[in-house]
Amino acid sequence: MTLILVLLMFGTFILIDYLRSRHAVAHLAVAAAPVISRTAPTGEFVEGFLVPAKVRYHAGHGWAQRERSRLMRVGVDEFGAALLGNIDHIEMPKPGRWVRQGQKVWGFSRNGEKTEMVSPVEGEIVEVNPEVVKDPSLLRKDPFGQGWLMTVHVPDEESVQRNFMPVHLVKAWIRDCAETLFAKQPQLAGPVMADGGRPVEDFAASLPGTSWRELTQEFFIQ
């Protein structure tokens, strides 16, 4: 009987030591895991629009930022967010879905109208930002930070990057987009400069009678 008790006590000590070791290893693993910053990157302003240097741009006004090997976070650039303005709802694909670069993947609704944008990358969706789904205004307030849309596992990064806007052409491209918008709607040029050179919150709201859907699709790849 005494021997049995001794063995039970010994086994209990071994189990406790094992559990403590597992906890310590798990704690170290969490501590060693890389912390990914999802705050808005800094950058320059072109015609009033923020253009961060650390993100890549797609011609459909989506952006992509590499978080680690084969994982990219994506969203809508500030020019696109200003065109969308005060949206009511964002229609997002579910994690696990495979999306192609240049494929329509995001839907935006406003006052009964809907417009769509294409994915800037190709791969499998890993995560969708639940905060921007709950509060679509984040997309306009902080398009490169809290307003990010999803993360995507990108197996062929090299192929995807070939279809991004060349880095040295990004500023000129944004400038051309702004000038094209102002040429079509000259009355927008004034409101854009109304707050220290920053664009108004909502272009469509500054143009009564203008179709929001048509305005956005002038610039989004369809």
pLDDT in tens, 181-192: 888 766 666 555
Q: Is residue 36's pLDDT more than 80?
A: no
The pLDDT value given to residue 15: 46
Span of 123-132, 201-210, 212-221 with lowest mean pLDDT: 201-210
- E strand map for the chain: 43-46, 49-52, 56-57, 62-68, 71-76, 89-91, 98-99, 104-110, 113-118, 123-128, 150-153
CA 168 to mean position of chain CA atoms: 22
Task: Give 124's strand partners.
Answer: 98, 153
- E strand map for 13-155: 43-46, 49-52, 56-57, 62-68, 71-76, 89-91, 98-99, 104-110, 113-118, 123-128, 150-153
**Percentage of the residues of the chain whose pLDDT score is greater than 90:** 61
Judge whether 102 and 119 are in contact, CB under 8 Å.
Answer: yes
- Out of 49-53, 121-125, 207-211, 212-216, give the one with best mean pLDDT: 121-125
Per-residue pLDDT averaged across 83-109, rounded? 97
Q: Is residue 7's pLDDT more than 50?
A: no
Q: Is residue 152 helix, strand or coil?
A: strand
The pLDDT value given to residue 197: 65
Per-residue pLDDT averaged across 64-90, rounded? 96
Q: Is residue 34's pLDDT more than 50?
A: no
> CA angle, corner 196, sides to 195 and 200, nearest 5?
35
| 40 burial level (CB within 10 Å; 0-12, 13-18, 19+) | middle
Band of pLDDT at residue 42, cut at 50, 70 and 90: confident
Judge whether 71 and 94 are in contact, CB under 8 Å.
Answer: no
Per-residue pLDDT averaged across 173-179, rounded? 93
Q: Is residue 50 helix, strand or coil?
A: strand
pTM above 0.85, yes or no: no
> Which tokens go with 118?
């294409």
129-155 as b/e: b if 16+ CB within 10 A: beebeeebebbbebbbebbbbbbbebe
For the domain spanning 43-217, the CATH number is 2.40.50.100
